[in-house]
Amino acid sequence: MARRDRDTRGVRDCRPAGSRRQQERFKRADTDGNGALNREEAGKGSRALARHFDKIDANKDGQITNHEIQAARKARGGARRGKIG
């Protein structure tokens, strides 16, 4: 029983669970399956993505990829740490 209580997700997959959830939401929002979200798909997937679409779209191609979302989150996290410390 103790073995089941232990969280072993990190053993096989080093990504945090939040990243996995974000990837699943991205995949659901990507209705045309092209691996990127246009403005309409982003709006249906998340209000925050729609609100910050232009900031997240790093290459300004009118679509955001999962990589661009992760980069924006990382940058935002760094900016927050900078404000605190």
Q: Please tell me the pTM assigned to this model.
A: 0.69
Confidence band (pLDDT; 50, 70, 90) for 19?
confident
- pLDDT confidence band for 11 (50 / 70 / 90): very low
Structure token pair of residue 69: 């979302």
Q: What is the mean pLDDT of residues 12-20?
A: 56
Q: What is the pLDDT of residues 63-85, one digit of tens each?
A: 999 999 999 989 988 665 554 43
How far is residue 28's CA from residue 76's CA, in Å, rounded to a whole number?
24
Task: Give the closest residue to 56 by CA, choosing from 64, 67, 45.
Answer: 64
**pLDDT, tens digit, for every residue of 32-65?**
999 999 999 999 988 999 999 999 999 999 999 9
Q: Residue 39, CB half-sphere, CA atoms under 13 Å: how many?
A: 8
- Which is higher by pLDDT, 15 or 38? 38
DSSP 61: S
